[in-house]
Amino acid sequence: MLQFNDWCDTTDSKVGTHALRLMSGDQVRLNAGITATAAIIPSHYAAEERVAGILRRLGKPAAAQFVEGKLPTSKSIRSGDLGEIMATEWIAAQGGYQVPIKRLRWKDHRNMAMRGDDVIGIHQDAQAGLLFLKTEAKSRVALTAAVVAEARAALDKDGGLPSAHALSFIADRLAELGNDALADAIIDAQLKHGIQTQSVRHLTFTMSGNSPEGHLTGSLQTYAGGIAQWSVGLRIEGHAAFVAAVYDLVIANANN
């Protein structure tokens, strides 16, 4: 799990009733952030046990080749994937919600972006049943109001609820992995009980080289829906260099 506090400065505030968190990569500690991020990247593209099995059977060069073959080579896809990975890791670090499926493991092609909801967090509550965190992640060298508006539009699709396709995808993968209890609970919430807006929270997660504060604040101020909102903006000066350094280190680690 990525510990953002080890290399980021954080400020929390409220925008109306909604929560805004701004994180900024500390330039002094940024190498630690690159190292920590590179360490968690492979598990988002391939199951640890799968890599370990190839390592045992075929040796380190084959395992390194397998991992490297999963990684995107396109700069834009690397940036987009890393934004989604950062959002997933941030959710895990907060506690409460879990992200049971790392969906990048099921990419059609390493240089293609996946469609649909970026990340779905799930919390199992004894009284309320399943609670969902519908997440849109955006990663840009320069974040703009238009990009944040794209995230807002995606979150508002399907009445603000997680899409049926996203939930079915998660449930199918969980069933394949043997977690029938959670898979069944998701299908029951979707098809038997129905998901209500009070069981959903939205997360807009951005990673950018410029400050996201104004764009995220404006988006929260103009939101007129009834679903609780979280916005998290991670600023990393030298965004493109950070992304490149992370993926280069993943490849170097796999071959060492």
φ/ψ of 25, rounded to 5, equals: -65, 120
> What pLDDT, in 10s, does the model give residues 165-203?
999 999 999 999 999 999 999 999 999 999 999 999 999
> What are the structure tokens assigned to 76, written together?
């834009």
For position 256, what pLDDT does the model report? 86
- Residue found by looking up tokens 């670090």 in the block: 93
> What pLDDT, in 10s, does the model give residues 90-144?
999 998 999 999 999 999 999 998 888 899 999 998 887 899 999 999 999 999 9
Mean local confidence (pLDDT), 54-74: 95
Mean local confidence (pLDDT), 81-88: 97
Give the amino acid at 156: D
> What pLDDT, in 10s, does the model give residues 199-234?
999 999 999 999 999 999 999 999 999 999 999 999
For position 114, what pLDDT does the model report? 85
φ/ψ of 60, rounded to 5, equals: -65, -45
Domain boundaries, the chain: 4-26+75-241
200: β partners: 132
Mean pLDDT of the chain: 95
Give the amino acid at 215: H
Q: Report the C-alpha gap between 252 and 51 in whole angstroms.
A: 16
φ/ψ of 226, rounded to 5, equals: -110, 15
